[in-house]
Amino acid sequence: MSTKVKLSKEAEAKAEEILAFHGYSSIDELVENLIAKEYDSIKSEGSKEEQAEALSGLGYIS
């Protein structure tokens, strides 16, 4: 699957700075890495129900 995303000039400039700072070879590589990190973050947090149950067990939600 190949998807193209249009970036504003401002977002493109920021992406170029990130590329230079972290040594990514392309914006595609940067986006793939960011998606992987966000996906891992979502999966490690658990479902909203699991989060609510954990907070309830801690006394934050009654």
pTM as predicted: 0.64
For residue 61, being part of any structural domain is answered with yes
Q: How many domains does the chain have?
A: 1
Give the pLDDT of residue 62.
60
Give the pLDDT of residue 26.
93
How do residues 2-23 score in pLDDT, each as one tens digit? 788 899 999 999 999 999 999 9
For residue 28, being part of any structural domain is answered with no
Question: What rounded mean pLDDT belongs to the chain?
Answer: 85
Supply the DSSP string of 5-60, one letter for each residue. Answer: ----HHHHHHHHHHHHHHT-S-HHHHHHHHHHHHHHHHHHH--HHHHHHHHHHTTS
**Parent domain of 61:** 34-62
For residue 17, being part of any structural domain is answered with no
Give the pLDDT of residue 61.
62
Region 51-55 average pLDDT? 74
